[in-house]
């Protein structure tokens, strides 16, 4: 990763940490928690690398709306 990607990754992680902030104790199984972590990492990867940005942003908004 070059410096720009690192800064973008950090910025996106910081913003998403307010939304995706569940811990292992919030899940009934370790597999559910690992799936959650994988989903979050996929979202971050897509946003950092400009992959399916609109779809990914919709996914984030859907998740946020479920929290309300």
pLDDT in tens, 15-37: 999 999 999 999 999 999 999 99
Output the pTM of the full model. Answer: 0.91
Average pLDDT score over residue span 4-22:
96
| pLDDT reading at 42 higher than 80 | yes
Q: What is the mean pLDDT of the chain?
A: 96
pLDDT for res 68:
75
Q: Count CA atoms closer than 13 A to 37's CA, side-chain side.
A: 10
Could you tell me the pLDDT band of residue 2, with boundaries at 50, 70 and 90? confident
The gap from C-alpha 4 to its chain's centroid, in whole angstroms, comes to 19
């Amino acid at each position: 990763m070059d410096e720009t990607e690192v800064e973008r990754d950090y910025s996106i992680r910081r913003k998403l940490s307010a939304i995706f902030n569940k811990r292992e104790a919030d899940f009934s199984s370790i597999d559910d928690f690992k799936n959650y972590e994988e989903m979050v990492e996929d979202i971050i990867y897509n946003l950092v690398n400009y992959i399916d940005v609109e779809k990914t942003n919709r996914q984030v908004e859907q998740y946020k709306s479920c929290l309300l």
